[in-house]
């Protein structure tokens, strides 16, 4: 399907605007000129009729009026008719236009525009006439003055032709010059397109210059700079992710390769081969979990996971997790306190997975002989579940939920650095977010989920459960 260029579209728009403007201006000026010429002709008739009436009143003989008339007017388009019941009528008419029947204006009434009679002649030429009564020494007289607007019609016709020619010239000039001016004005778009075409992985940090850009293109330029910044951030994150992924996968592969090479160095007993296979299975299981977590994060990033939402009691769901993790906490002589109430509508399995990661993170990295507090907060449709434990503030809190990120104090412990990333991804799937803060000497990790939750004021739901770890 053909799509006209932007230059062609703007040229057509500008040409149409110029055509409408020229047509409107010509029409307005034509109407103003015509009204001015009609007003002048009317004033001429009124002044001449008043002069002739004044001459008669001053004692002039009716027979001398044609002499005055010939000096005042153009006999090619002006008509004079003098009617009297005492003498022969006088008529000067070289136009070939017959005067219609008109009622004369009384002597006591001064001539005016309202007494002018207008009509269209046989040759389609407009004419106007004024008839009035006057007194003379011979008696009452009726004077009729008329004008056929032939010269006015010729003048207006010439004006129309010249207006049309000027308008056509202006339209053609606009149509010829508009593409050149438009292309010149669109050079900024070309420069912007060239800058974007040069975008590469090594130029993502280079912003598009906005100083010489037209005001109309500034939002687009700012949006492109924002896009470059986001692409740069995502590219750096993707590169770091690939590096970390390669490192995490390389470690178990090297372990498996080394163990098997050593085992094949010489003959081994059945027990040694069995121990080797068990070690291989452990490494492969760790590698399988790592792959599963990476696939889950990739699908969660693109919201390619279907949530099986259900409404459940928060206290019961969290209590089940605490019962399961209680032996791990006992090994580090830690206490888990639960203060939870209300219902939550979410994917229960994903919710338990996220909370398990938070609890395991608190048990594994918090100082021993401490307390881990699990609590819930309800704010309308938003529910916050927090896991708090004693400990120093993290050095880089903004990186807590990044993939494969691990603090300096835990780099040599078990784990892949994906636990908190999974928590953040699960929270995002539920329209919420994960957060961290250091408060009153403790670290608080939490998830904020959007659901239809409500508080339940029951003794079971509001009770606090304390699991005291024993030696």
Strand ranges in 85-227 using DSSP code E only, listed in sequence order: 90-93, 117-120, 126-136, 139-148
Instruction: Provide the token pair at 248.
Output: 């995490």
pLDDT at 148 over 50: yes
Q: What is the spatial distance between Cα 338 and Cα 314, in angstroms, rounded to a whole number?
A: 10
Q: Quick check: is 294 in a domain?
A: yes
Angle, vertex CA 374, rays to CA 373 and CA 378, nearest 5: 130
Domain harbouring 330, CATH code: 3.30.565.10
Last residue of a domain, one of 270, 301, 332: 301
Query: For 81-90, 248-257, 346-355, which range has the lowest pLDDT when averaged over its residues?
Result: 81-90
Please, what is the angle between helix 419-429 and helix 270-301, to 10°?
40
User: Between residues 185 and 312, which one has the greater pLDDT?
Assistant: 312
User: Per-residue pLDDT tens for 358-377?
Assistant: 999 888 888 877 889 999 99
Asked whether the predicted pLDDT for residue 91 surpasses 60, the reply is yes
Residues 6+ apart with CB under 8 A from 159: 30, 33
Length of the chain in terms of residues written: 471
Sheet containing 139-148: give its strands across. 90-93, 78-84, 139-148, 126-136, 117-120
Helices 218-263 and 270-301, axial angle in degrees (round to 10): 170
Compute the mean pLDDT over every residue in the chain, rounded to the nearest whole number.
81
* Same domain for 92 and 17: yes
Q: In this structure, are residues 332 and 368 in contact, taking their beta carbons and an 8 Å threshold?
A: yes
pLDDT > 90 fraction of the chain, expressed in percent and rounded:
22
Model confidence at 441: pLDDT above 60: yes
Q: Is 439 helix (H, G, I), strand (E, B) or coil?
A: strand
- Please return the burial class of 180, using the count of CB atoms within 10 Å of its CB with bins 0-12, 13-18 and 19+: exposed
* Whether 325 and 458 share a structural domain: yes
Q: Quick one: 276 and 232 in the same domain?
A: yes
pTM value is: 0.51
**First-to-last C-alpha distance (Å) of the chain:** 79
For residues 363 and 446, membership in a common domain is answered with: yes
- Whether 162 maps to a domain, the answer reads no
Cβ neighbours, 10 Å, residue 202: 7
**Residue 241, domain member (yes or no):** yes
* pLDDT at site 366: 82
**Do 295 and 326 belong together in one domain?**
no
How far is residue 372's CA from residue 328's CA, in Å, rounded to a whole number?
13
- What is residue 417's three-state secondary structure? coil
Q: pLDDT band for position 88 (50/70/90)?
A: low
Residue 185 lies in a domain: no
φ/ψ bin of 287: left (φ > 0), alpha (ψ from -120 to 50), beta (otherwise):
alpha
Closest CA to 253 of 290, 294, 298, 293: 290
Cα–Cα dist 218/226, whole Å: 12
Mark whether 320 and 249 lie in a shared domain.
no
Q: Looking at the structure, do residues 316 and 463 belong to the same domain, yes or no? A: yes
Same domain assignment for residues 390 and 241? no
Question: What pLDDT, in 10s, does the model give residues 57-73?
Answer: 777 777 777 777 777 76
In a domain, 191, yes or no: no
- Alpha-carbon span 353 to 81, nearest angstrom: 114
Residues with Cβ < 8 Å from 300, sequence gap 6 or more?
Answer: 425, 426, 428, 429
Last residue within a domain, chosen from 277, 301, 325:
301
Q: How far apart are the C-alpha atoms of 84 and 101, rounded to whole Å?
A: 16
Q: Is the pLDDT assigned to residue 455 strictly greater than 60?
A: no
Q: Residue 454 — very low, low, confident or very high, per pLDDT cuts 50/70/90?
A: very low
Residue 249 and residue 382 in one domain: no
In this predicted structure, what is the pLDDT of residue 200? Answer: 74
pLDDT at 467 over 60: no
pLDDT at site 85: 62
Rg (CA), the chain: 50
Report d(CA 175, CA 8) in Å as an integer: 10
pLDDT reading at 460 higher than 60: no
Q: Residue 194: inside a domain, yes or no?
A: no
Specify the CATH number for the domain of residue 49.
Answer: 3.30.1140
Whether the pLDDT of residue 28 is over 90: the answer is: yes
209 occurs within a structural domain: no
Structure tokens at 39: 């007003």
| Alpha helix segments (H runs only) across 302-431 | 314-331, 348-365, 419-429
What torsion, rounded to 10 degrees, do the Cα atoms 173, 178, 183, 185 define? 120
Segment of 32-36, 203-207, 272-276 carrying the highest mean pLDDT = 32-36
Identify whether residues 295 and 316 lie together within a single domain: no
pLDDT at 51 > cutoff 90? no
Domain carrying residue 234: 215-301
Q: Which residue, of 155, 177, 201, is where some domain finishes?
A: 155
Residue 225 confidence (pLDDT) above 60: yes
Residues with Cβ < 8 Å from 458, sequence gap 6 or more? Answer: 341
Alpha carbons 442 and 373: distance in angstroms, whole number: 10
Instruction: Tell me how many domains the chain contains.
Output: 3
The conformational region for residue 118 under phi > 0 = left, psi -120 to 50 = alpha, else beta, is beta
> Considering only 213-227, 377-391, 420-434, which range has the smallest mean pLDDT?
213-227
Say yes or no to pLDDT of 409 above 60.
Answer: no
Is 128 in the same domain as 226? no
Share of the chain above pLDDT 70, in %: 88
Task: Let me know: does 132 contact 111? Beta carbons within 8 Å.
Answer: yes
CB neighbour list of residue 212: distance below 8 Å, 6 or more residues apart: 188
**Residue at 265 is within a domain:** yes
Q: Identify whether residues 334 and 436 lie together within a single domain.
A: yes
């Amino acid at each position: 399907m053909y799509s006209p260029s932007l230059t062609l579209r703007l040229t057509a728009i500008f040409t149409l605007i110029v055509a409408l403007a020229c047509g409107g201006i010509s029409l307005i000026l034509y109407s103003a000129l015509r009204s001015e010429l009609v007003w002048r002709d009317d004033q001429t008739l009124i002044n001449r009729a008043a002069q002739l009436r004044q001459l008669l009143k001053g004692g002039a003989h009716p027979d001398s009026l044609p002499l005055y008339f010939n000096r005042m007017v153009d006999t090619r388009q002006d008509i004079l008719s003098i009617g009297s019941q005492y003498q022969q009528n006088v008529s000067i008419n070289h136009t070939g236009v017959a005067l219609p029947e008109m009622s004369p204006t009384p002597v006591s009434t001064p001539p005016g525009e309202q007494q002018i009679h207008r009509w269209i002649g046989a040759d389609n030429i407009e004419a106007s006439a004024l008839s009035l009564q006057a007194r003379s020494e011979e008696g009452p007289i009726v004077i009729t003055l008329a004008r056929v607007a032939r010269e006015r019609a010729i003048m207006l016709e010439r004006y129309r032709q010249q207006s049309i020619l000027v308008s056509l010239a202006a339209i053609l000039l606009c149509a010829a010059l508009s593409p050149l001016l438009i292309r010149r004005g669109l050079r900024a778009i070309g420069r912007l397109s060239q800058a974007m075409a040069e975008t590469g992985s090594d130029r993502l940090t280079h912003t598009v210059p906005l100083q010489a850009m037209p005001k109309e293109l500034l939002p687009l330029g700012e949006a492109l700079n924002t896009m470059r910044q986001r692409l740069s951030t995502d590219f750096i994150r993707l590169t770091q992710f690939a590096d970390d992924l390669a490192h995490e996968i390389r470690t178990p592969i090297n372990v498996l390769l080394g163990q098997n090479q050593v085992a094949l160095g010489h003959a081994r007993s059945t027990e040694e081969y069995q121990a080797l296979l068990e070690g291989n299975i452990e490494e492969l299981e760790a590698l399988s979990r790592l792959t599963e977590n990476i696939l889950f994060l990739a699908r969660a990033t693109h919201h390619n996971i279907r949530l099986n939402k259900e409404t459940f009691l928060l206290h019961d769901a969290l209590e089940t997790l605490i019962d399961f993790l209680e032996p791990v906490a006992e090994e580090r002589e830690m206490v888990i306190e639960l203060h939870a109430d209300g219902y939550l509508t979410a994917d229960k399995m994903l919710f338990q997975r996220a909370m398990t990661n938070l609890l395991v993170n608190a048990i594994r990295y918090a100082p021993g002989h401490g307390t881990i507090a699990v609590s819930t907060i309800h704010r309308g449709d938003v529910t916050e579940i927090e896991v708090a434990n004693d400990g120093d503030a993290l050095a880089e809190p903004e990186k807590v939920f990044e993939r494969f990120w691990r603090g300096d104090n835990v780099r040599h412990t078990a784990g892949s650095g994906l636990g908190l990333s999974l928590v953040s991804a699960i929270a995002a799937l539920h329209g919420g977010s994960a957060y961290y803060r250091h408060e009153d000497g403790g670290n608080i990790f939490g998830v904020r989920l959007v659901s239809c939750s409500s508080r339940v004021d029951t003794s079971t739901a509001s009770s606090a459960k304390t699991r005291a770890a024993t030696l």
